[in-house]
Amino acid sequence: MGAIYRREMGAFFTSGLAYVFLSVFSLISGIFFFFNVIGSGTSNMSSMFGSMFIIVLFLIPILTMKLMSEEKKNRTDQGLLTAPIGLWSIVLGKYFAALTLFIIAESVVFIYTLIIAVYGEVMWASLLGNYFAMLFLGSAFIAVGIFVSSLTENQMASAVASMLALFVLYLFDSLASNIENEYIQKAMLSLSFYSRYIEFTSGVFNLSSIVFFISTAFLFNFFTVRVLDKRRWG
């Protein structure tokens, strides 16, 4: 796992993807910070985190798009799958590499706290709550992105399909409100990433949501392992 993690981290930076991801993330979160936080004269960064949901939704597929698809396309998966390591090590090595980059990007908010500290008081509890909410959200999204990437050899197809998949998950709220059947509506709402995430930005710390994000991450990593395993049996 360590070897794959280090290779993927290196590949993020040599391919330049890491720089693009980090700068786009910083730029957009900076814009939201400027208008939503500084502009409205508050030290509460929750509204910035709320707006970042949709940005994370579109940025994470770019991070994960080639993690599995490129391996298949360049036949480098033959090297990995014939090495004396398990499938979980391969998937988790890649998963944690993407997660690390996401955490680096997200940690740009701590620079914003310095700016706030100059003018007022930092609301640490709210900030950390939001920070971890986004971390858990990202960890679930990354697993979905890697899973989609494992289904195709084309990284663009992988990116578009993951964006679409995450976007459909985002739409669950609006879809659910149009559904008559109470049970289906309830089920859909409980699967909604958005409402679970937004809850955190309004200051509610819901343990079940954290469990939800972590289990989603686990589930999709498991699916990816199954895809790799199934390819051997195909």
Q: Taking the complex as a whole, how short is the minimal distance between the CB of residue 129 and another protein, in angstroms? A: 38
Instruction: Report whether 146 contacts 95 (CB < 8 A).
Output: yes
Shortest distance (Å) from residue 64 CB to another protein: 17
Assign 154 to helix, strand or coil: coil
Q: For the CB of residue 75, give the shortest distance to another protein in the complex, in Å.
A: 5
Cβ at position 8, least distance to another protein in Å: 10
Rounded Cα distance between 63 and 161, Å, is 13
Q: Cβ neighbours of residue 57 under 8 Å, at least 6 residues apart?
A: 141, 163, 166, 167, 170
Decide whether 154 or 190 has the Cβ nearer to another protein: 154
Output the CA–CA distances (angstroms, integers) from residue 92 to 8, 121, 139, 148, in the order listed. Answer: 11, 39, 12, 15
Nearer to another protein among residue 14 and residue 178 (C-beta): 14
Measured from the CB atom, is 91 or 109 closer to another protein? 91
Residue with Cβ nearer another protein (64 or 130): 64
Which chain residues interact with another protein by CB under 8 A?
2-4, 6-7, 10-11, 14-15, 74-86, 231-234
